Amino acid sequence: MASSQIIILAIVVTSLATFVSRFMGALTSEKVSVKSKAFQWFNCVAYSTLAALLGRMIIFPAGVLADSLLIIRIVVLFICIIIFLNSKKNLVIPTILSAVLLSFFNSI
């Protein structure tokens, strides 16, 4: 099997897994109250998974991000968190700013 076929197969399989879980969530969402313990537990699991992935990206990056220094990634993270909190929790501004800051600090 060629490398491009493996990549396409991986994209299809992961897409199906994602869409099946979302479909099942949509089917069962009417039966789960937002204030229930089960919903809160899934919410906590989702946020903790996201935090773990972001932590891994910052501490043990792969690809192009690995070319930047750890201190640069941490400084950009803290700057973007401050901007996020000061911009009424707007996600667009810190996301764009993080790319600009990483590019700027890596070019110095």
- Which pLDDT tens digit goes with each residue over 14-72? 999 889 988 988 888 777 788 889 889 988 999 999 999 999 999 999 988 999 999 99
Residue 75 buriedness (CB in 10 A; 0-12 / 13-18 / 19+): middle
Return the pLDDT at 1: 67
Return the pLDDT at 29: 76
CB 97 within 8 A of CB 79: yes
Return the pLDDT at 33: 82
Return the pLDDT at 22: 86
Buried b (16+ CB within 10 A) or exposed e, 3-34: eeeeeeeeeeeeeeeeeeeeeeeeeeeeeeee
> What is the DSSP secondary structure assignment for residue 2, as one 8-state letter?
-
Q: Please report, for residues 18, 38, 61, the alpha-carbon distance to residue 22 in angstroms, rounded to integers and kept in the order given.
A: 6, 16, 28
Domain extents for the chain?
62-108
Stretch among 9-18, 19-28, 77-86, 91-100 having the lowest mean pLDDT: 19-28
Cα 53 from Cα 47, distance rounded (Å): 10
